[in-house]
Structure 1
């Protein structure tokens, strides 16, 4: 049996609509996205050692399918995981890549909020962003810095740049653009294109006691039965003017390089 090697890879960015995009594309009759999202196969520290058979088995064979794809936002975290473009090109050099982006500052806020709710981040927003030298939040929003690592192994016309803003505002037109890029029927529409995934600005966070209990067998289920006891509401982080100026000063050069590379204006962004 022939191995299925994906010819579409959504490489990021984290908290920029990759889950929604993965699900939209999977609705198309000629596109088969991996059953599990975020395979992280090309990351040495994660699933590279699982081997090609493991990777191939994530894609059920369907003779009608023209495009097999996966979505792993960690592929554009070069500051954490090196060598991804080279491993990717060694397996699927002709793949088409999609890099979906978001206003860099809004993406940072969503990233921080996600980590804070999951108890992976205990610091305040200001403290978490204070060190800009290998800062995970900031570097993940340096989109030119990230995509530049792929340009030695993939041609620029193999990469489609999108934004979460255009996917939200012009959903059907944006999906048509993607379908044209992939060479599948661009007239395809589906009622589920109106759905969004994994987005919320109001969430509940486990209390310290709840988090400790959640680590026990069936602990999380127990905590979810008593949300008023083991969970608390948390508000979405707010950027004050001083922090906004600081982030713009750090990110503006990268955004300008991205504009020059792609020819896109990113007018919906704050910098």
Structure 2
């Protein structure tokens, strides 16, 4: 069986980190445009209970659901949704950390909303990525109900053990004892904004990231970034976003048959 997993801002990192606690085959991934190149990524996957991938873009894509079904109508789809308001703020912190924006939260969002040319990789899509209803329906229109699993980031945060067991049960794979003490994908801000902006603009940061071993990356992050005094979303900003997302949250709640009223709380 093959499964695809699509995530909402930072949830992927959390789940991926938990599963890496159990050794997995190490493969070098590359951006692929042709089906035969994609299939080569799974050349060494033989006699496995489940073969799958994690993607950051499949939920938002307007073509992914049908393309996945055309390739494998028996594929299982796992989606983990995060409160769109906390998702967008996390997205902003990441964009600010990586020097893709230097503006305050609301200005960055409103500027992105005004862009005429928008899309994956050419704009931030701050608001659009959190409009889940149409994205989920695209998969529900194509795949049978028993092949789609919708999970919530809230559940991962509050009871990760149960969520991961549910995840494994749905995929019919063995669960193992996960370690939950460590925090993953913790938000951080650059200590040296101008320097980080410069090396990002000229492409040095991306190249260094590819070349650095993991141990050196961790050390570099401690030097270049801080987790102290991180900005927090304000009541005014929450109200602005609730007004934007309220209707879509209500539609999403009906589609996945989950109570999402907590997402609308200030």
Q: TM-score, normalised by structure 2?
A: 0.77
Is residue 184 from structure 1 mapped to residue 173 from structure 2 by the alignment? yes
Q: Give 1:260's match in structure 2, choosing from 247, 251, 254.
A: 254
Q: Which structure 1 residue ranges, 5 or more long, are not aligned?
A: 1-5, 40-45
Q: Is the 8 A contact 2:161 2:178 kept in 1?
A: no
* CA deviation string 1:120-159 (max 9, x = no partner): 1232211122264767111111111221222232123321
- Counterpart of 2:127 in structure 1 is 138
- Counterpart of 1:43 in structure 2 is none
Root mean square deviation of aligned Cα: 3.5
- Counterpart of 1:147 in structure 2 is 136
Q: Give 2:13's match in structure 1, choosing from 13, 19, 28.
A: 19
Is residue 89 from structure 1 mapped to residue 69 from structure 2 by the alignment? yes
Q: Judging changes above 3 Å, is the alpha-carbon distance between structure 1 residues 232 and 28 closer, same or farther for their aligned structure 2 residues?
A: closer
Distance 2:188 2:12 in 1: 20
Residue 117 of structure 1, CA deviation: 0.7
Which structure carries more relative contact order (alpha carbon 8 Å, separation 6+)? 2
Distance 2:41 2:165 in 1: 29
- Counterpart of 1:50 in structure 2 is 34
1:60-139 residue pairs with structure 2 within 5 A? 60-63=44-47, 65-78=48-61, 82-130=62-110, 132=113, 136-139=125-128
Q: Is the 8 A contact 2:9 2:90 kept in 1?
A: no
Distance 2:161 2:217 in 1: 40
Is residue 244 from structure 1 mapped to residue 238 from structure 2 by the alignment? yes
Q: Is the 8 A contact 2:5 2:54 kept in 1?
A: yes
Q: Secondary structure at the match of 1:74?
A: coil
Distance 2:221 2:256 in 1: 46
Distance 2:2 2:237 in 1: 41
Q: Is the 8 A contact 2:246 2:264 kept in 1?
A: no
Residue 116 of structure 1, CA deviation: 1.0
Distance 1:33 1:223 in 2: 22
Distance 2:220 2:58 in 1: 37
1:204-243 residue pairs with structure 2 within 5 A? 204=190, 206-213=192-199, 215-216=203-204, 231=224, 233=226, 235-243=229-237
* CA deviation string 1:64-119 (max 9, x = no partner): x21112111211223xxx42222222212211111111111111010111111111
Q: Secondary structure at the match of 1:269?
A: helix
Q: Which structure 2 residue ranges, 5 or more long, are not aligned?
A: 119-123
Residue 25 of structure 1, CA deviation: 4.0
